[in-house]
Amino acid sequence: MEGFDTSFSMNCKEKVEKLEEKVMTLFIDYENGGLITLQLLELIDDIERMGLGYRFQPDITRVLSKVASKHYATKEEEEDNLHAVSLEFRLLRQHGFSVSQGSSNFIYG
């Protein structure tokens, strides 16, 4: 029974490390233009709902800062998508960005 516990914990540890690498790759993909904003926001939302946000906190803050500045500069294409706008609004607010409530004209600070 003892050998089972060791191999099980090693297997889980390897899976967690692979998942962390995959998440980091997706963050980098977003920064390089390979992932749309909605996909990134849904990934961050999923990570936080699973209780794993603390593992990626600096990276989440970094990419949300880019989301905020990108939206502010270009009024990105997803303004007409209520799900995307509300998710962006909530995540930015949760992470300390100053976001206006008015008609998706976000003000970041």
The reported pLDDT for the residue numbered 15 is 83
In a domain, 69, yes or no: yes
∠ at Cα 82 (99, 61), nearest 5°? 40
In a domain, 61, yes or no: yes
Report pLDDT digits (tens) over 5-17.
556 666 788 888 8
Domain total for the chain? 1
**Is residue 18's pLDDT more than 60?**
yes
pLDDT of residue 108: 44
Identify residue 82 by its one-letter amino acid code: L
Domain carrying residue 77: 2-94
In a domain, 100, yes or no: no
In a domain, 24, yes or no: yes
Q: Name the residue with higher pLDDT: 31 or 108.
A: 31
Examine residue 105 and state whether it is found in any structural domain, yes or no: no
- Which is higher by pLDDT, 108 or 18? 18
Q: What does the pLDDT look like over 46-100, one tens digit per residue?
A: 999 988 899 999 999 999 999 888 765 555 455 568 898 889 989 999 998 887 7
End-to-end CA distance of the chain: 55
pLDDT for res 109: 45
pLDDT of residue 102: 64
* pLDDT single digits (tens) 35-48: 888 999 999 999 99
Q: Could you tell me if residue 21 is inside a domain?
A: yes
What torsion, rounded to 10 degrees, do the Cα atoms 109, 37, 59, 10 define? 150
Position 14 in a domain:
yes
